[in-house]
Structure 1
Amino acid sequence: MNKIIRWAGGLACIVLAASCNDKLEIAAPYKNITVVYGLLDMTDSAHYIRIEKAFMDGNQSAVDMAKVPDSSFYNALTVSMKEFNAGGTLINTYALSRVNLDNEGYAKDTGAFFSTPNYAYKFKGLLNSGNTYRLMIYNTATGVMDSAETNVIDSNTASFGLTEWKLAAQTISFAREYTFDGDKLYQKTYTVNVPKNASVFQLYLRFNWVDSNIATHTSVAHSADFSTFYASGSNTLTVTNRDIYDFLRSTLGVPSDANQYRYFDSCDMILYAAGSEYKRYQELNQNTGGLTANEIKQQYTNIKGENVMGLFSTRAHVQKLQVPFSDDTKDSVAINRRTADLNIRFR
């Protein structure tokens, strides 16, 4: 397994607030609402679909119900993934097995909800960007069938990446804060090579550094991700240089010890893409959480069925590691008022 599909946390509970009017029915009779979340990625060797149930019960506290696994999982689901070729012919059917993600290496965050078991539905298979994948969820207890379809993004690096990555000597550059005329904040533009079935993009700059204390001779490695804005319906991404300086200041902070220095040598660039279903979700919800976010909202669903909501789509990512900083960027970080006192040094 190459990476985790991050889950839609916080959707297992619907909590209603009410006034003191004792004639107001604050919760309807108990009803199951199925919540589905999954993003298929060609680079994953194992694929996971999160299927839970939202709940509301007029006789129990939602806070108490959130601590009970039975309130969030079904015991009688048959889940399958059907693969169709470009001509619409069924070529594969995968049976998904229920697994505990704790045993898969993906522990659930702690909080008001129970932490174990941490179920999802899993299948293994090589995905094809020319095919369509249909998720089928059958509740054997109720006879209800839910379904959703998506294509998958072609994550072949020959067709997916930034055009700047093809440069012989690409560097990370954010030296300039204003345009040459000084009238506007300077923005760096990156151009995306758009892969098949991709509709929305987001770029992350991962800053890696080592905190080193020259007095105690101790060192601790750190990293932090700076995210650009979305590109939806466009193949360009823009980064405002001043935002990077603000990010570095808020992330690193002024060291409390004058002997502490932050040593940078390069930056990783990670480009994410998502499918048309995710784009539609973003447009309807005005979502700003990013392609690595772990939450979906009730306003959008592409799952077909009775009392069901969720998001089933596709995601891919490519990356270029250890991209060096430009010389003018190193000089600018040393004198910029936002970063001059952060004790940043470049190797």
Structure 2
Amino acid sequence: MSNLEAEPQEVICESSGTASGRASGTASGTAPDVDLPQPVEILTPREVPLGGPRAMLVRRTLPQRDRSLIGAWCFVDHYGPDNVSVSGGMRVPPHPHTGLQTVSWLFSGAIDHRDSTGVHASVYAGELNLMTAGRGIQHSEVSTDTTTVLHGVQLWIALPEESRHTEPNFEHHVPPVTRSGVASLRVFLGEIAGTRSPVTTFSPLLGAQIDLPANSSVTLDLDLGFEHGLLVDTGQVTVGDVMADTAELAYLATGRPSITLTAGASAARMLLIGGEPLNEQIVMWWNFIGRSHDEIVQYRSEWERDVTQGGTVSGRFGVVRGFDGPPLRAPAMPNVRLRPRR
């Protein structure tokens, strides 16, 4: 799915080992014990309208000013449940990406995907669509005619330097439902609780849906080298000893061997994402990820050239076949040149 903001901000993203915000474990201004994991940090969402007058609202928890990456995860949009008869559903025309993977994960509804590798595939609740943009791809995303309620997440993964110019690709996967105690798990990326996803990643990653009955708990072993984020979709969840409400994202720094999750008075559904810190600085603007302002300018120029010329199979982004309508035009670049900062 695209970032449809009319005036997207250019963002420098880099790994950070610090925690800030609502947290547990130590008093404000006191350094944590070196033998203890860093406190859990709660990231609150901001609403972002995507599109025109009937804009689809999403709740964005990543990137934020104080935290832009969790492992290689660089973008988290959470939307719905939306009544499609009121909202109009999702209709995102062909648009480009570079340097990333997109994760489409639904809780209800269905989305029709087309991309310039020739793939035409639908994704339903509990299924994964993973698109690798690599050196460049374009795709469209449209909710199906049979969808009445649309509810899900859009996630982006930044590709590391050695893989960011890889050939574009697409994978679809239906993860089995497994159990850890009373919790149900669908592991769509990486491995946790003895279940591994077979889909391709370019850095060590984790992605899983976790469902907990009301007033129940589960303790999950974590990779000590991973950062983690827990996005609450429904209900309230105590993460360690910090409460996370619906649509909030709990951040867990590296060095944590396990985590206990406890649902409140109603059943809870959440996504657990994680990965090794990327330890690279990336520049993200609109639907492009690169390593410099000049690189982003070049991607935009190539896309606009292809759009005005009707697209070319030999171009960086290829052509989407079968979508009824024109592709998206790129917004204007910011008036100032963003200087990389450390």
**Which is richer in helix?**
1
Greater length-normalized contact order (CA 8 Å, ≥ 6 residues apart): 2
TM-score by length of 2: 0.25
Determine which structure has more spread, i.e. the larger CA radius of gyration.
1
TM-score by length of 1: 0.24
**Which is richer in strand?**
2
